[in-house]
């Protein structure tokens, strides 16, 4: 491939299911490569399998890529390119680089079993190669069932994988391969080779489960006198037990992670590190940094293990650094519509959640004060009398403040009455009174989020819980 050609890459998902997290990773690597080299990113929907393809899955794929920000420069749909495939099948037949094969399935299976019995790798014998081209056309035109096979030369195919280095296949072990089913319906490797060539794809970056397809596609490309692109096969994404992630599992669709409340930046960051790493030890990176740093030379060969815990870690970091106003808008989709969120509430819990679907439970105390036991208000060895005294002092401070309790201002005022006393003996009862929980954001954060009226109301409720006999 000429080094001065503009980089063009593609992602070519089949709309037979929701956008898989592995496909999203492959799309990201292609997109980053294109952006790094000022190239173009193409989306091609491979929907020639009419029985399994579904428009809703095509829409899911497009929506998922848009959500990630992986916008494409060109779009193709294979189901609309039937005439193109017919043209190039005809070229191969006319040039006698391909031929009609009339062998029945039973005949093929019989020969296959015979080769296996001899300890040989099964391949097509080439029996129908010998049929004169005109005779084959007449038989096919007369309605005799057929497939179309490519004449595979008995030569070795060698290509330099940009991730794995030199890879070699022996064509003599493959046999003539089927490129179109009965009635001329083109098969996967043929349509892919034609589309990649006509779209002028310069680099094919895809999962390593496609390595075995590469020599087949190269033979087709050579037969059609197209230019061979460069190949890079990414490591597969594995489960923690090193098994392959199943496409049928509920937790592998990008949509499921979106619904769980993972941020776009966190998902991109996480996916980029699934088989790749930068030159330094950084892990938290934004999309601009990923574009700048991305290189296929730093993609690993071994499988990339998927870890929900690591994804949560990335998301927690991205949540903490997301602008509070932006996070507030995102949060509204994860809590009851009746809740009136404010920035102070969001700010108070930014470091306490890993996913946005945790927001409802984390923020609930702001809208539904738990019915807690009065004993929870005591800090260590305090008695109820001491708790009551300290809460009343804090209430006096709050009574003299404006309705809008600014965190810094209210913190300064309350800390002045604590002076050299035990902070825990004041702040623990206050925090429990405001949240009704053993674990919650700090009291000054909660005061700002609740405002004066609700804060005083909750302190009064706490004082009522202390109107019980002291127990020891």
Can you say which residues are annotated as belonging to the binding site for ATP? Answer: 247
3-state secondary structure of 230: strand
CA distance 449 to 339: 13
Per the rule left: phi > 0, alpha: psi between -120 and 50, beta: everything else, 445 is: alpha
* Residue 230, phi then psi, degrees to nearest 5: -95, 150
User: What gap in Å lies between CA 377 and CA 414, rounded to an integer?
Assistant: 17
**453 alpha carbon, distance to own chain's centre:** 44
d(CA 13, CA 15): 6
| CA pair distance 6, 74, nearest whole angstrom | 14
Q: Report d(CA 234, CA 237) in Å as an integer.
A: 9
Strands 177-180 and 237-238: unpaired
- Tokens representing 105? 């399935």
- C-beta of residue 299 within 8 angstroms of C-beta of residue 234: yes
- The span from the CA of 338 to the CA of 327, in Å, is 18
Q: Is 336 exposed, middle or buried (0-12, 13-18, 19+ CB in 10 A)?
A: exposed
| Closest-CA residue to 9 (of 46, 37, 49, 51) | 37
Check the CA dihedral 86-91-94-95 and report its sign: negative
CA distance 440 to 438: 7
Is the four-CA dihedral 453, 459, 464, 467 of positive or negative sign? negative
CA distance 35 to 33: 6
The alpha carbon of 227 is separated from its chain's Cα centroid by a whole number of angstroms, namely 32
Neighbours of 261 (CB within 10 A): 20
Active site residue 247: yes
**Which entry of 36, 91, 123, 247 is annotated as an active-site residue?**
247
Q: Which residues are known binding-site members?
A: 247
Distance from C-alpha of 189 to C-alpha of 201, rounded to nearest angstrom = 15
Report the candidate in 149, 136, 147, 140 with the shortest Cα–Cα distance to residue 97: 149
Q: Is 158 helix (H, G, I), strand (E, B) or coil?
A: strand
| Under 8 Å between Cβ of 152 and 218 | no
Residues carrying an active site annotation: 247
């Amino acid at each position: 491939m000429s080094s001065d050609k503009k980089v063009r890459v593609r992602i070519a998902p089949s709309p037979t299911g929701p956008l898989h997290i592995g496909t999203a990773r492959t799309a990201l690597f292609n997109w980053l490569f294109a952006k790094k080299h000022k190239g173009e990113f193409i989306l091609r929907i491979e929907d020639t399998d009419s029985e399994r393809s579904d428009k809703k899955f095509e829409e899911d794929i497009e929506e998922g890529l848009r959500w990630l920000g992986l916008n494409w420069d060109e779009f193709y749909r294979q189901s609309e390119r039937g005439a193109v495939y017919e043209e190039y099948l005809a070229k191969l037949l006319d040039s006698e680089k391909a031929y009609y094969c009339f062998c029945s399935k039973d005949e093929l299976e019989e020969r296959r079993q015979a080769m296996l019995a001899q300890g040989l790798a099964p391949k097509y014998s080439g029996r129908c190669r010998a049929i004169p081209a005109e005779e084959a056309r007449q038989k096919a035109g007369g309605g005799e069932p057929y497939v179309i096979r490519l004449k595979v030369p008995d030569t070795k195919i060698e290509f330099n994988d940009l991730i794995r280095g030199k890879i070699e296949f022996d064509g003599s072990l493959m046999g003539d391969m089927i490129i179109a089913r009965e009635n001329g319906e083109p098969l996967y490797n043929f349509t892919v080779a034609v589309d990649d060539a006509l779209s002028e794809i310069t680099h094919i970056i895809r999962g390593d489960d496609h390595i075995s397809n590469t020599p087949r596609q190269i033979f087709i490309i050579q037969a059609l006198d197209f230019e061979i692109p460069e190949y890079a096969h990414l490591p597969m994404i594995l489960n923690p037990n090193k098994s392959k992630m199943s496409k049928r599992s509920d937790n592998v669709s990008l949509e499921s992670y979106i619904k769980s409340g993972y941020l776009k930046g966190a998902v991109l960051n996480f996916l980029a590190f699934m088989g790749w790493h930068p030159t330094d030890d950084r892990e938290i990176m934004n999309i601009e940094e990923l574009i700048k740093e991305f290189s296929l030379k730093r993609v690993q060969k071994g499988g990339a293990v998927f870890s929900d815990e690591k994804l949560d870690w990335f998301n927690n970091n991205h949540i903490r650094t997301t602008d509070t106003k932006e996070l507030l808008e995102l949060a509204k989709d994860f809590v009851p519509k009746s809740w009136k969120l404010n920035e102070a509430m969001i700010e108070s819990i930014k470091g306490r959640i890993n996913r946005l679907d945790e927001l409802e439970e984390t923020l609930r105390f702001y809208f539904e004060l738990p019915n807690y036991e009065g004993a929870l208000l005591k800090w260590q060895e305090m008695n109820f009398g001491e708790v009551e005294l300290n809460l009343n002092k804090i209430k006096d401070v709050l009574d003299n403040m404006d309705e809008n309790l600014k965190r810094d201002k209210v913190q300064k005022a309350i800390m002045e009455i604590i002076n050299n006393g035990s902070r825990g003996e004041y702040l623990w009862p206050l925090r429990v009174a405001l949240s009704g929980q053993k674990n919650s954001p700090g009291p000054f954060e909660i005061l700002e989020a609740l405002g004066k009226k609700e804060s005083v109301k909750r302190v009064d409720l706490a004082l009522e819980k202390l109107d019980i006999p002291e127990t020891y």
